[in-house]
Structures are given as C-alpha cells and as structure tokens.
Structure 1
C-alpha cells in the first residue's frame, strides 16, 4: 500500500514575516544544511514495505493533485525524504534519542493489537518502562523534528522558542497543537486487505500542508498530519500560539480518539476497494 504525499505548496502565500531568510541553513542550529531526513521514519518504511530494493512495483507514492503515482525503488529513495533542511549533526547525533523514542512507540503500536482491542488505549509506561516521562519528552521532540522539516521545506522560519524546546528547554512544544487519533477507515482498509487479498503490508500517510488563516483572513500558520496504518498525529502550527497543546500529555494513560474521515462510514472501504472492483469487472 502506498505512502501518501502532498503536492500542495503554501509557500507562495506565506507572508514575508513568516519566511526563513536562509534556504541553505539547518533550521535547528543554523549550520549548513547537508542532510535529508526521511518524511516517514526509515524504520517505519522498512517495517511496512521491507528493506533492500523494491522491484515488483508494489510500493508507490500517491500524491494528491497528480494523476500518476510515483513508483518507489527502495527505503532510501529521495522521494521519501525532505530536501536538505537539516545538517548532518542535527539529523543524526543531536536527535538520535528522539528517533529511538519514536521507533519504540511506533513498534509498540504496530505489534500490540490490544491497543485497538482495548479501545485505542495505551500507557507510555508500557512502551518505555519506568523512564516513560523522559522518553515521552523525546517522542514529542521527534514529532517537532518532523514538523520543523515540513516548515523549513516551504521556507517558513522555525521560531526560536521551538528550537529552544528541541535543545531541552521547557515542556510542551510551543507554537504547536498536536493530537493523536485513530483513523477508522485506515484500520478497516488494513483489515480488508489482509482478510480478502492476503496482504499484510501496512500504509504510511502524510497530509497536505495547508495554511491556517487568522481571524482577519491573513496566514498565521500551517497544519498537516502524518501517520502509519490507523495511527495519526495531526498538528497545527502558529506563531501566535505561545503555549503548546496536545491530547497525550496529561498522564501515563492515553485514550486515542477515533474518527471516520468526512463522508466515510463502516463498510465503505470494501465498496471502494480498487482490487475488489477490478476483480468484479474481469468476472
């Protein structure tokens, strides 16, 4: 199943006050940007589609606004990466703990069906053990790393307060509203592909990067989401939001809200399945 990408580019509508002055600088430390971060964590890509070279045409990137999908040749494809918006040091050693915290979190959700069976509930302590508070902070900083790369690739200046947060100052990422949720249509699709078509591959998702407008109609921030299988991390960014918000920072226990995308309901996935419809047409 395909990683979903966006073809939208809000850059032309971004006011000068939001733009970064240096296109070739690392958004985190200001050094020369010479490293490309994966849009989806590489461990997610390999865990979903396998390592090595993909030669059977089964891994494609679907981009909204484009008629043809991109065929991906392997997990290191440039099509799965951000442009050079980080330096090598920030993308590797400085953020290694954040990357590892995300990998543990992603692996836990993928491998523990009881999270879904228990009503999309989990405990950070079940993921990370007794040091869950420390690793939760690292997980949040991975999320911020991803958001920072999305902002930087369209030329938005990452605020100093967010960079300070990445450097270990403060709690709750400023300027961001981050929400975990469960997309029930993606859960249903995964179950349908496994039950009907024998495919146990997962899916990766990256939403369109959209502008957020203020009360006066002027651009004040952006929003998007990313995720794997049913899990979604939606985020909104604004220069005017000084205090960060989230729905997973209150305690060890997290209850993930569920939703059906607009216009969809239980059973719709099977009705719109391309593989099922092609089989019916051949018959």
Structure 2
C-alpha cells in the first residue's frame, strides 16, 4: 500500500512541476485511510463525513491493471468446546483441538460447492477467475499449557462469497455446512461449534468498465505504455466497494506491481511506482482539463 501512496504523491509532485496551476478551480481530495484490510472503516468514515468526489482512484497494488470488481468477504470465528483436564486424567477429557480437522473438512467442502456453483453459473464479473470464492483458516488458537487438555479451540476463518449474497447469507450457509458435517461426531453433535462474525463484513462489488474514470485510466495507460491495460477482477476486495455500492461514486483501483504480497520478502517493483505515477498524473491532468 505504501507503493501506491508513493505513486500518488509522485504524480501530484510531477504535475505541480510540469504544469503549475493544472488543477484550476477544481478540487482534489487525498484520502489516507486506516483499516483497509481489517474492516474498511477508515474509508467508510471518510465518505460518511462527506469526503466524496465525482470519481475515485484507489492506488491498490494491481500490477498496473485496472481492478474493477471484488467478491464479498466475511470473517468468522468458530469456537469448538472441549472438556479440560490435566493430561494425567485425559481419559475423562475431550480435546477440542482434535475437532479442528472436522471443521476444516467441512469448510473445504463448502468451498468446493462454491467453486462448482461458480463453474456452472459464474457471475460475469468473475468469470475469468477459476476459484474466486476461497475459504481460508487464518488463525488457530487453543491451550495455554502443554500438559493440560484445553477447554476450547478457536479458528479464525475468512470466507469469500458471491455478490448475490448478503453477509448474513454467507454466515448462515457456512454455519449450516459446518454443523451438518460435524453432526456425525458424538461430542460435536452434543456440543456444536459456536459461530461469531469477527471484523470483516464486505459486500461484493463491480464497477461498470464504461464509466469515465475507467476510460480515463485506460487512455492514460495506453499513452504511457503503448497498449491498453487489462481490466480485471479479484477474489478479494478493496475499499472501492463503499464508493460504488453505497455512495454512487465510480471507482477503480490502479497501482504498482508487487511480489509475494502477505508473504516472505513482500516487495513492490520500484520502476512500477514511477510507471503508475506517470499514468495517474495524466489521468488527473486530463480530468481537470475537461
């Protein structure tokens, strides 16, 4: 995200150097918001406070493609109850860690069903993506002492879901899938997992590619790079969903190239920061000159 931030600042600096007064009587808002990868509440709060515009560019790392759509996402905490004891008396205990695999199997089955449904009747916005609706267990927590059977285990789960669903739909379907799959376990049937929404609740979105801001980015990219950029969707989301869905502001994401996002040696290609800035500067120049 810092790469996009740098590209945006570089674009503004270059415009001020090359064409002083380029903004004319226009107004430009720069939003540097927190929580984009946790709730999106930073951008939402800014928009609700009136920081809105004719259009928005989100400087997400997009590989210099134009990102137009994102899936729905929720985070769910799944709690598995056990019966705690010292390991010496483990014969009368129930270790909730052993129930984790049953829950994971259920989540994987749910994901396969989503993929199968997508293959048969894909949302046009995500048709090029083979598996847009991924379900991932991102955190596992249980126990505080090696020689004790823990009382509870908790999974942090990220669920991607179709635009046609609400977050409540997704939550209910995940809950039903897990409870159905774990009902064959005697302990889990009597002590079913508990589900809680935990943080992220993002609706899916899709921006019409024929809107002026998308065409402006395409034209500027073509001017800089000699060819049109790819128009893409992703099996994740961005804060563009707020502008598009809630405030009627056309929005697209465009940003630098990256490597190993969220992984070891995460990096941004330095040259692509400048390439992105060149495109954004032309978008802004032409937008305010129109």
Measured against the shorter chain, the TM-score band is under 0.3
Quick check: which has more Rg, 1 or 2?
2
Q: What is the TM-score when the length of structure 2 is the normalising length? A: 0.25
